[in-house]
Amino acid sequence: MALSAQQVPRWFNTIKLSSFIKAAQLRRSFPRPRKIPLCGFSTQLPMSSDICLLHRGFKTYRTSSLWNSSQATNSNRQENHSAQSALLPSGIQQSQKTQKLPNLESELSPEGLDDLPPLSPLQPIPEEEAVQIIAGSPLPPLSFTLRDYVDHSETLQKLVLLGVDLSKIEKHPDAANLLLRLDFEKDIKQILLFLKDVGIEDNELGTFLTKNYAIFSEDLENLKTRVAYLQSKNFTKADIAQMVRNAPFLLNFSVERLDNRLGFFQKELELSVKKTRDLVVRLPRLLTGSLEPVKENMKVYRLELGFKHNEIQHMITRIPKMLTVNKRKLTETFDYVHNVMSIPHHIIVKFPQVFNTKLFKVKERHLFLTYLGRAQYDPAKPNYISLDKLVSIPDKIFCEEIAKASVQDFNKFLKTL
């Protein structure tokens, strides 16, 4: 078996180690003399001729080694071999003669090569092998964008094909760690199939997952349990699909939280089961958002704005967003409509969408009607203008049907404000 260029240094290390072990075994085979003085320095104990010969052999070896150090390499190897042979008994010399260099084919089997120590990273390699090495682009050790990992992650590639916007997800510090640990087939595919069963269409998956990538950290059985709970409360499949679509985090909350939220709105607003169900279907964020704005607005309607309980019920069932609207916007709109435009509570209750309209739009149209002398909001008088038409129709229809003027006149008037 031929050795490659990289295996030759390892073979030489093995040969050196084998020689060292054999030399140690050879030294242990000689009987150790007990404090025998060197021949010629003491007459207390006679030394045998073999021991003196051994001593002379050491001296001859040392003298020969010093002389041979200045000779050529080939003659040095031969003379060193003869000097070393003179030190050994005849039996050992004979066995040493019979020893041969190790056969690479017989002694260095593939199994033996596997047990050898690994090559040093500094070990040079032939140029032919070096040019064949193909190094893949490494993963960045630190990055602030998922774009650097897309080429290395099958999961990210397939999420992009689904329409997921990674530039929005990466703004969350925990998003990258979550997505890069997931396997598409094992962790993501089953969630996608579940969402399709719920009612999320293929073209809606990208938008949904961009908002709620954390659904991949949820247990699939827990998600199914939450859907089953909503079905037990008589929410239809279409209702659940609409709720999940408009409130992507809905299924991330436990059954206990969903049950407590439904109970809160039914008790606090004194609504029937059906009206409570219709309320959360139209605004499912009521089940996922904070309850503090809801509680605060209920106090504002009752204590600051002076609406009765049944009036509040009517308005929020018509415009559920009134429960979560900004308190400042709520009070400023009511103050302008009620105190400036002189519209009483019972008319405001009939058209609660005024609280869902930008205040500057209400001001502009009211001031224009006042300028034309047509600001009349009492239904018992002629030329009555309802709040619904005042805030909901486009500018062109407002000017032609309500103000009886052109859009150009309206735009000129706005420049004077």
Q: What is the pLDDT of residues 37-85, one digit of tens each?
A: 333 333 333 344 443 333 444 344 344 443 344 444 444 444 444 444 4
Give the mean pLDDT of the chain: 76
**pLDDT at residue 168, rounded to an integer:** 84
Cα-only R_g, the chain: 47
Helix (H, G, I), strand (E, B) or coil at 393: coil
Q: What percent of the chain has pLDDT over 70?
A: 65
Please, which pLDDT band fits residue 145 given cuts at 50, 70 and 90? low
Structural contact between residues 323 and 286, judged by C-beta atoms closer than 8 angstroms: yes
pLDDT attached to residue 134: 61
pLDDT tier at 161 (50, 70, 90 boundaries)?
confident
Helix then strand count (H, E) for the chain reads: 25, 0
Give the pLDDT band of residue 243 (cuts 50, 70, 90): very high
Q: Which residues make Cβ contacts (< 8 Å) with residue 270, sequence separation at least 6? A: 309, 313
233 token code pair: 């409360």
At 87, the pLDDT band (50, 70, 90 cuts) reads very low
Report pLDDT digits (tens) over 361-374. Answer: 999 999 999 999 99
At which residue do the structure tokens 């308005």 appear?
315
Torsion, Cα 212 218 224 225, to 10 degrees, reads -120
Q: Please give the pLDDT value at position 116.
A: 54
Residue bearing the bigger pLDDT, 86 or 175: 175
Confidence of residue 404 (pLDDT cuts 50, 70, 90): very high
Find the distance separating the first CA and the last CA of the chain, reported in whole Å. Answer: 98
pLDDT value of position 26:
45
Minimum mean pLDDT among 46-60, 139-153, 231-245: which range?
46-60
Burial of 232 (0-12, 13-18, 19+ CB in 10 A): exposed
pLDDT band at 129 (very low <50, low <70, confident <90, very high): confident
Element (H, E) at 60: helix 49-68
User: Which pair of tokens denotes residue 113?
Assistant: 């090569």
Most confidently modeled of 12-21, 31-40, 161-170, 238-247? 238-247
Q: For residue 291, what is the DSSP state?
A: S
The answer to whether 243 touches 250, Cβ cutoff 8 Å, is yes
| pLDDT above 50 for 174 | yes
What mean pLDDT is predicted for residues 139-151?
56
What single-letter amino acid sits at 115?
D
The reported pLDDT for the residue numbered 302 is 93
Question: Is residue 180 very low, low, confident or very high in pLDDT (cuts 50, 70, 90)?
Answer: confident
247 pLDDT more than 60: yes
Which of 24-28, 89-93, 159-163, 314-318 has the weakest average pLDDT? 89-93
Give, in order, the Cα–Cα distances in Å from 292 to each of 100, 279, 289, 299, 326: 92, 18, 9, 11, 12
HSE of 171, CA atoms in CB hemisphere, 13 A = 6
Q: Per 3-state DSSP, what percentage of the chain is helix, strand, and coil (rounded to 5)?
A: 65, 0, 35
- Beta-carbon contacts of 275 under 8 Å, excluding residues fewer than 6 positions away, are 317
pLDDT value for 150: 65
What pLDDT is stored for residue 29 in this prediction? 47
pLDDT digits (tens, 9 = 90+) for 285-341: 999 999 999 999 999 999 999 999 999 999 999 999 999 999 999 999 999 999 999
Average pLDDT over residues 110-135: 62
Looking at per-residue pLDDT, the higher value among 321 and 123 belongs to: 321
Q: What is the pLDDT of residue 275?
A: 93
User: Looking at the predicted structure, is the pLDDT value of residue 139 above 70?
Assistant: no
Task: Say whether pLDDT at 259 is over 90.
Answer: yes
Q: What is the mean pLDDT of residues 24-32?
A: 47
